Amino acid sequence: MNMTTKPNRIALVTGASRGIGRSTALSLAAQGVDVIVTYLSSADEAMAVVKQIEAMGRRAVALPLDVGSAGTFADFARDVKTTLQETWQRERFDYLVNNAGTGVYAPLTDTTEQEFDSMINIHLKGTFFLTQKMLPLIEDGGRILNTSSGLTRFTFGGYAAYAAAKGGVEVLTRFMAKELGARNISVNVIAPGATETDFGGGALRDNNDLNTQWAGMTTLGRNGLPDDIGGVAAALLSEGTGWLNGQRIEASGGVLL
CA distance 158 to 111: 9
Cross-strand pairs, 188: 145
Residue 208's pLDDT is: 80
Q: Is 130 exposed, middle or buried (0-12, 13-18, 19+ CB in 10 A)?
A: buried
Q: Which of 140, 37, 137 is nearest to 77 (CA)?
A: 137
Residue 214's pLDDT is: 87
Residues known to be catalytic:
162
100: left (phi over 0), alpha (psi -120 to 50) or beta: beta
Residue 20's pLDDT is: 96
Cross-strand pairs, 11: 35, 95
Torsional sign, CA 142, 252, 50, 52:
negative
The one-letter amino acid code at 196 reads: E
CA distance 34 to 41: 22
Torsional sign, CA 83, 85, 88, 92:
positive
Residue 96's pLDDT is: 99
CA distance 31 to 39: 22
What is the CATH code of the structural domain delimited by 10-251?
A: 3.40.50.720
- Domain extent listing, the chain: 10-251
For each successive 10 residues of the chain (257 residues), what is the average pLDDT?
Answer: 66 97 98 98 97 98 98 98 98 98 93 98 98 98 98 93 98 98 98 84 73 91 95 97 98 96
Q: Terminal CA-to-CA distance of the chain, rounded, Å? A: 55
Residue 3's pLDDT is: 46
Residue 180's pLDDT is: 98
Q: Can you spell out the DSSP letters for the chain?
A: ----PPPPPEEEETT-SSHHHHHHHHHHHHTT-EEEEEESS-HHHHHHHHHHHHHTT--EEEEE--TT-GGGHHHHHHHHHHHIIIIIS-S-EEEEEE---------TTT--HHHHHHHIIIIIIHHHHHHHHHGGGEEEEEEEEEE--GGGTS--TT-HHHHHHHHHHHHHHHHHHHHHGGGT-EEEEEEE-SB-SSHHHHHHHH-HHHHHHHHHTBTTSS-B-HHHHHHHHHHTTSGGGTT--S-EEEESSSBT-
